[in-house]
Every structure is written in C-alpha cells, then in structure tokens.
C-alpha cells in the first residue's frame, strides 16, 4: 500500500525569550585587579564582563586600618570624563561592597545626578581608598580595565529546516543560530503548530555549541497537512 502523500509548510516563526542572559553572566568571576598602595585587596566585580545588567557591584578587602572611605568610579572609555561614582560600604570584617545607586557626571564640569543604573558601554572601573579627612588617597585598586555592559538581548541569526519547507513525512531537523553565546544549561523550547501558542508539536534537541541549538521532530500523516508556525522560547 502506498503511503498517503502529505506536506506541511512553515509560514511564520515567533520568538519569546524572557530574561535573556549569557552564560558568563550567571557566574560572577573575580577580576584581574591591580592594587596600588596596598590599602585595598582582592578587588572584584560582579557580574563578570560582558555584563547583562546595568547595576554591577564591586567588592574587596580593606587592608589598611586608616581607610575610612572607598569610592568606586566607572569611567566611560569613550569619554573618560563621563563617570558613575558610588561610595562603598565597609563592613566590620573589613570587606567592602559598592553597588547602586550611582552618582552620574556627564563631564568634568557637570553636577552629579543620582542614577539607579549605568548605561551600556565600556568602562574602566577603579576603587579608591581615602582616610578620615576624605582628601588623602591611601591606595587604589584597578578593578577592570575594559568592563563591558551590554543589556541588548541576544537575537536569532538564522533558522534552518532540513528538509526545507514544504516538509513531507519523516524526520524534520531545525538548527537555530544565535548572534552571541547563550546559557547552555537552559534548553531552548522549540515547537510548532497551527494555533497559538503553536505548541501542538515539539522538537527534541540540545545545544551543539554556545550559539547553536539543534533539534528534531517526527512528521507523520497524523501531523496533518497545512501551514504551521514555529515557536522558540525560554532560551537564555
């Protein structure tokens, strides 16, 4: 008996990626800091660069008992006079943490404006220690020379169906390529259907590398002829 002829077409593709974050953003890493004067040590910034958050924090250890204040400065590499500054909290165990809010200076002559976040860009990050008079600099720590903040969500660069549409009965493979590295511990959910939310049929797959997800689905006479929409979601 001949197998009945069938074919399905993929007319549209929809994306729903909430809270997109890169793998490197999930795990704060210690920066390669340079300490000057010995007043501050173990300086680090979280999350590591490139950051998908506009509210990074800087921490470290105070090794000089004369230190009573620490200012952390984010200087825009494209315009060093454009800066974000915030005072650190020195804890009883002589560790310190600096975080939002920040005081923003558009240039060397502008008045500071309180901001809850730092805009996207590349920054030099420095922690500066001072004494009780807040004038004498007791030491500094270059936390990061080129710290990148990029909150732009990753996008899908390309989607390849094999075989290409229209698809007949058999195994259908989909390959999704992203424009930047993704979190491979979170699987992309790929499905297709004729009615919203287009999840009547699913692909089973995995990340093949940091930017590529590949999955397969079985197409049969039970799937039915017609036009289908491919849905991609939950990738990070």
What pLDDT is stored for residue 33 in this prediction?
Answer: 56
Q: Does one domain contain both 174 and 222?
A: yes
Q: For residues 80 and 83, what is the distance between their CA atoms, to the nearest angstrom?
A: 7
Q: Which residue has the higher pLDDT, 12 or 116?
A: 116
Smallest CA-to-CA distance from 3 within 216, 220, 224 is with: 220
Choosing from 83, 117, 149, the residue where a domain stops is 149
Give a yes or no: residue 1 inside a domain.
Answer: no
The backbone torsions φ and ψ at residue 41, rounded to the nearest 5 degrees and listed phi first, read: -140, 165
Instruction: Provide the 8-state DSSP code for 111.
Output: P
Q: Which two tokens stand for residue 128?
A: 């500066």
Residue with tokens 């287009």: 198
Q: What mean pLDDT comes out for the span 196-211?
A: 94
What pLDDT is stored for residue 189 in this prediction?
Answer: 94
CB–CB of 232/156 below 8 Å? yes
Confidence of residue 132 (pLDDT cuts 50, 70, 90): confident
Smallest CA-to-CA distance from 78 within 38, 107, 52 is with: 107
Q: Does one domain contain both 140 and 175?
A: no
Q: Does one domain contain both 42 and 96?
A: yes
Show Cβ contacts of residue 208 under 8 Å, excluding neighbours closer than 6 positions: 214
What pLDDT is stored for residue 147 in this prediction?
Answer: 97
CB–CB of 98/70 below 8 Å? yes
Q: How many CB atoms sit inside 10 A of residue 61's CB?
A: 17
Output the CA–CA distances (angstroms, integers) from residue 152 to 77, 117, 131, 235, in the order listed.
19, 15, 40, 15
Q: Does one domain contain both 121 and 229?
A: no
What pLDDT is stored for residue 38 in this prediction?
Answer: 73
Q: For residues 94 and 71, what is the distance between their CA atoms, to the nearest angstrom?
A: 15
CB–CB of 63/36 below 8 Å? no
Can you give the pTM of this predicted structure? Answer: 0.67
Count of alpha carbons within 13 Å of 95, Cβ hemisphere only?
A: 8
Q: Does one domain contain both 196 and 124?
A: no
Output the CA–CA distances (angstroms, integers) from residue 214 to 33, 191, 226, in the order listed.
39, 12, 24
Residue with tokens 């920040």: 102
Choosing from 126, 149, 172, the residue where a domain stops is 149
CB–CB of 206/199 below 8 Å? no
Give a yes or no: residue 49 inside a domain.
Answer: yes
Quickly list H helices, the chain. Answer: 23-26
Confidence of residue 7 (pLDDT cuts 50, 70, 90): low
Smallest CA-to-CA distance from 119 within 150, 96, 163 is with: 150
Domain range for 139: 24-149
Q: Does one domain contain both 127 and 169?
A: no
**What is the sign, positive or negative, of the torsion defined by CA atoms of 48, 50, 52, 56?**
positive
Choosing from 149, 175, 190, the residue where a domain stops is 149
Strand partners, 206: 214
Confidence of residue 114 (pLDDT cuts 50, 70, 90): very high
Confidence of residue 74 (pLDDT cuts 50, 70, 90): very high
């Amino acid at each position: 008996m001949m197998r009945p002829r069938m074919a399905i077409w993929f007319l549209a593709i929809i994306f729903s990626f909430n809270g997109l974050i890169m793998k490197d953003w999930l795990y704060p890493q210690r920066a390669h800091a340079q300490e000057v004067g010995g007043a501050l040590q173990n300086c680090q910034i979280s999350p590591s660069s490139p950051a998908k958050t506009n509210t990074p924090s800087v921490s470290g250890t105070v090794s000089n008992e004369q230190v009573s204040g620490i200012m952390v400065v984010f200087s825009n590499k494209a315009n060093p006079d454009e800066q974000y500054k915030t005072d650190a909290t020195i804890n009883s165990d002589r560790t310190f943490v600096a975080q939002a809010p920040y005081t923003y200076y558009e240039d060397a002559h502008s008045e500071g404006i309180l901001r809850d976040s730092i805009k996207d860009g590349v920054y030099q990050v420095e922690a500066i220690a001072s004494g009780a008079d807040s004038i004498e600099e007791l030491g500094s720590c270059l936390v990061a020379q080129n710290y990148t903040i990029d909150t732009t969500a990753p996008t899908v660069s390309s989607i390849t169906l094999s075989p290409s549409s229209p698809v007949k009965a058999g195994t259908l493979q989909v390959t999704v390529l992203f424009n930047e590295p993704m979190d491979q511990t979170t699987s992309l959910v790929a499905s297709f259907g004729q009615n919203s939310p287009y999840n009547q049929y699913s692909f089973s797959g995995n990340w093949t590398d940091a930017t590529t997800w590949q999955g397969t689905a079985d197409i049969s006479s039970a799937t039915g002829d017609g036009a289908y929409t491919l849905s991609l979601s939950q990738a990070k």
